[in-house]
Amino acid sequence: MKIKINPDVVLDEKTIINDIEKFTKTCAMTIIEEAQNQLDKFAFGEMAEYYLEYEPIFYDRTGQMGDLSYQKYMTIKGNIYEGGIFINSAFTNHEKGEEYTEEYIYNDVWIKGIHGRKRVGRGGKAHWREIKGLPERMNRIKKKAYSENFKNKLLAKGIAKAKSQSYSILKFS
């Protein structure tokens, strides 16, 4: 990327700082928004697969671990921009009144791939068996998110958006 200075503008420190801040903020916000959208798609895809892999069906599915088990977030603290998705149990209460914690959702659903538990046996020998699917869903999302290809695409979108803005002294070729 080549940056040129507009020769028709008088250079002063404040103008230079304002243009650089505008460029970096635009770039950062675009990266965060695009990362949120892409991570949301990754998570939605993983949860869609989670529900499709469940065979045989032992009980009616609530669908609560789908797009209700995570949310997008963004925080800006000074010059630090952060965003993505986080596990949230606020909307995933079990129909029997049991509450799912973020720890349960992360460990049992997103990491272990547990769909639920089925009572096996009768009487004193009865026990609960976990109904498992494909594990490590969160790690597959992280693998996509931390890939160089993903990061490079985000950076390219951020720079392109920042370059499209109007600036007092900066010009891009």
Q: pLDDT 10s per residue in the chain (173 long)?
A: 777 777 777 788 898 899 999 999 999 999 999 988 888 888 888 877 777 776 655 555 666 666 566 777 788 888 787 877 777 666 665 555 556 777 777 788 778 877 776 667 777 777 667 767 766 777 888 888 889 999 999 999 999 999 999 998 888 87
Instruction: Please report the pLDDT score of residue 91 as a whole number.
Output: 61
Instruction: Please report the pLDDT score of residue 153 as a whole number.
Output: 95
Instruction: Please report the pLDDT score of residue 150 as a whole number.
Output: 93
* Residue 49 to residues 104, 120, 125, 137, Cα–Cα distance (Å): 19, 26, 34, 10
Instruction: Please report the pLDDT score of residue 157 as a whole number.
Output: 96
Q: How far apart are CA 84 and CA 71, in angstroms?
A: 8
Alpha-helical (H) ranges within the chain are: 13-52, 102-104, 137-145, 148-163
Determine the length of the chain: 173
What is the H or E stretch that residue 126 is in? none
Q: How far apart are CA 150 and CA 6, in angstroms?
A: 33
Q: How far apart are CA 164 and CA 166, in angstroms?
A: 7
What is the H or E stretch that residue 162 is in? helix 148-163
Specify the pairing of strand 127-132 against strand 170-172: unpaired
pTM of the model: 0.71
Instruction: Please report the pLDDT score of residue 41 as a whole number.
Output: 86
Q: How far apart are CA 49 and CA 137, in angstroms?
A: 10
Secondary structure letter of residue 125 according to DSSP = G
